[in-house]
Each structure stands twice: as C-alpha cells, then as structure tokens.
Amino acid sequence: MSIIKKENVSDAVMQICNLNVFYDGKPVLHDVSMNIRRNRITAILGPSGCGKTTFLKTLNGLLEQERGVNVSGRIKLENADIHSLSMEELRKNVGLVFQTPAPFPFSIYKNLTYAPVYYGIRDKKKLEKIVEETLKLTGLYEEVAGELHKSALKLSGGQKQRLCIARALTVEPKVLLLDEPCSALDVKASAKIEELLKNLKEHYTIVIVTHNLAQAKRIADDVAFSQNGRPVETKDAEAFWEKPECEETKEFLKG
Ligand SMILES: Nc1ncnc2c1ncn2[C@@H]1O[C@H](COP(=O)(O)OP(=O)(O)OP(=O)(O)O)[C@@H](O)[C@H]1O
Ligand SMILES: [Mg+2]
C-alpha cells in the first residue's frame, strides 16, 4: 500500500514500512507500507485470503506470538518501534476486536473492569467510572441499565460486539483495530456500530477490515485496498471511490 499522499507524518499514529509476513515460509504479506492517520477511520479492503486479518494481528503484536510466523519490516506507534514496547504496552495501545464477538464468560461489569484491573487500577470509583463511560460511548448504557452483574453471554450479537468494543476502550488505546465487526450482525445492529465508530474517531484512531463496500463508503476517511497480500492502492476515501487509479482497484470496485 503506497504511503497516503499529502501526508504530514505527525498525522500518522502508526507507520508501517516494508512489512513482510510469512507463515511457515510461505509469503502472505509483501512489502506493505502505509500510515494510519490520527482520528480517522481507515478501511482495509481486499478479497478473502489476501491477508487483512494477518495485517491487523501484526499491528498489535499478536501474530509474532504464533508458531511458524516470520515478520520483517518496521512498525512504529507514535514514532516508537513497536518492538521497543512490552507486549502489555502494545496491546494496551493497539486494541483488536475480532469478527465474532467473544465477551469473557463473566458479567458485563467484569468484562469492562478486567483490563483496567490487570493494568493496576484498584479504586472502585475509578473502575465504576470506566464502566459507565465505555458503556455510554458504545450506546449500551441505557440498554444494560440494572444488569451490569448479569452474564455478558446473555446479550444479543450486536450488544456483544459493542461490549467487545467497550472492553477494548477501557484501557484507552491509541488505535482500535476491528476485523469485520459487523459480518455477523443485521442491518440495524451494523448501523449502530457504524454510528459508534463515527463518534469514536473524535478520540480514537480506527482501522476496520470490511467486506462491505457500502459500509466502507459510509464510514471510511482513508481506504487501503490490497490483493494477494500486495498493496494496490491507498488513498483518501473520496479519491479512492471517485478516482481509483489502478486497474485492479477498478475491477474490484466493479465487483
Ligand atoms: N495461522 C496460519 N498458518 C498458516 N497460514 C495462515 C494462517 N493464518 C492465515 N493463513 C493464510 O494466510 C493468508 C491470509 O489469511 P488472512 O486470514 O490474513 O486473510 P483475510 O484477508 O483476513 O481473509 P478473509 O477475508 O477471508 O478473512 C491465507 O492464505 C491464509 O490461508
Ligand atoms: Mg480475515
């Protein structure tokens, strides 16, 4: 993915430079370079198997913990090489929400206090504030009022996904990565997530993988399209939809 044009580097929360990923010696991502811009939603598009999930997992260090994986290139978070951060720091700053919402099998309250407690917050008032704020941010506050101590597994699919986003927000990450967060949701639940993401970008930087072009058109500020693990075209959303330059992108957009 070519570096987004007209870019001021200080705009970039994450800088990815010549990233290559191999699974058991087989190349999956080839020479990916791009910047993730602050307070924007970047949509990652591409056919199934082109390496989108691999890319997200590389950004928060999850991939390098897998066996048989080889990663080369540089990834910086706020100008610091991610390898200079501990895994805890990296995970705290770069949150990842998966396609299938998987709350912990605990209460709603415990889902939202789990990470803050892990990172050392013990004060009950502070924890309650985090729970309240993240529930409000994700539009769940009214929906789960009086039920904070019920199992999170009893929520609907859309609510579970918003809870997983809320859980990721409890530690105030700099970047929120979402891997097809709406693929299992109906139109109404997806619309709530889209609205939520548009509101969140005021405070957070968001990267979303989606197969839904209409969704990407509604919410993305930047778009990155890749094929076979190779960067094809990365641009401001408006230019991407209106003036794609590469033949592969034009073909992809034609469906
Ligand atoms: N743990 C793994 N070991 C070996 N190969 C893997 C592993 N995970 C993914 N792959 C391979 O890497 C390639 C990219 O997979 P990835 O899951 O990143 O694609 P994707 O773009 O997210 O696809 P989809 O749109 O279907 O979710 C695929 O060829 C896949 O088979
Ligand atoms: Mg995937």
Phi then psi dihedrals of residue 78, to 5 deg: 45, 50
Among the bound ligands, name the one nearest to the CA of residue 70.
1
Q: Predicted confidence band at 231 (pLDDT cuts at 50, 70, 90)?
A: confident
pLDDT at 154 over 70: yes
Q: Report pTM.
A: 0.94
- Spacing, Cα 210 to ligand 1 middle (Å): 15
pLDDT score, position 10? 64
- Spacing, Cα 48 to ligand 2 middle (Å): 7
pLDDT at 234 over 60: yes
Residues with CB under 6 A from ligand 1: 23, 28, 46, 48-54, 66
> Residue 49: left (phi > 0), alpha (psi -120 to 50), or beta?
left
pLDDT score, position 2? 37
pLDDT score, position 5? 40
- Spacing, Cα 52 to ligand 1 middle (Å): 8
Q: What does DSSP assign to residue 3?
A: P
Query: What average pLDDT does the segment 146-158 reach?
Result: 96
Atom of ligand 1 nearest to the CA of 24: 4
Query: Please, what are the domains in the chain?
Result: 9-254 (3.40.50.300)
What is the end-to-end Cα distance of the chain in Å, rounded? 20
pLDDT in tens, 163-204: 999 999 999 999 999 999 999 889 998 999 999 999 999 999
Atom of ligand 1 nearest to the CA of 51: 18
Residue nearest to atom 9 of ligand 1 (CA): 54
- Spacing, Cα 56 to ligand 2 middle (Å): 9
E strands, the chain, in order: 12-23, 26-37, 41-45, 69-77, 80-81, 94-97, 175-179, 205-209, 222-227, 230-236
pLDDT at 7 over 90: no
pLDDT at 139 over 90: yes
pLDDT at 227 over 60: yes
Contact between 229 and 28 (Cβ < 8 Å): yes
